[in-house]
Amino acid sequence: MAKGTQSQFSAAELFVRKPVQANPGLGERVVSLFDRLATWNERRRQRRALEALPDHLLSDIGISRADADHEAEKPFWRG
């Protein structure tokens, strides 16, 4: 479309194509919040799963049974 020409779309069509945001960047902040929550949940799942690993696997990754139990029992991961 050339500069200076009128749009061929009505206001309703423009709203459907690109809704007006009350606060620019709000969508990015919401996505970031959910990403952080997903990351925290994954870390929590991994830390709590340490309890279920057998001792020989814990020693392979360099963690003692006491360390695994201590890490999984932290109130931060218990939620």
Task: Kindly report, residue by residue over 23-43, the tens digit of the pLDDT.
Answer: 658 888 888 899 999 998 888
How far, in Å, CA of 17 to CA of 26, rounded?
Answer: 18
Number of Cβ within 10 Å of residue 48's Cβ equals 17
Check: CB of residue 66 under 8 Å from CB of residue 51: no
Return the pLDDT at 51: 85
Q: Record the tokens describing residue 68, joined without a space.
A: 């695994």
What is the value of pTM for the model shown? 0.52
Identity at 32, one-letter amino acid code: S
Q: Record the tokens describing residue 46, joined without a space.
A: 């991994």
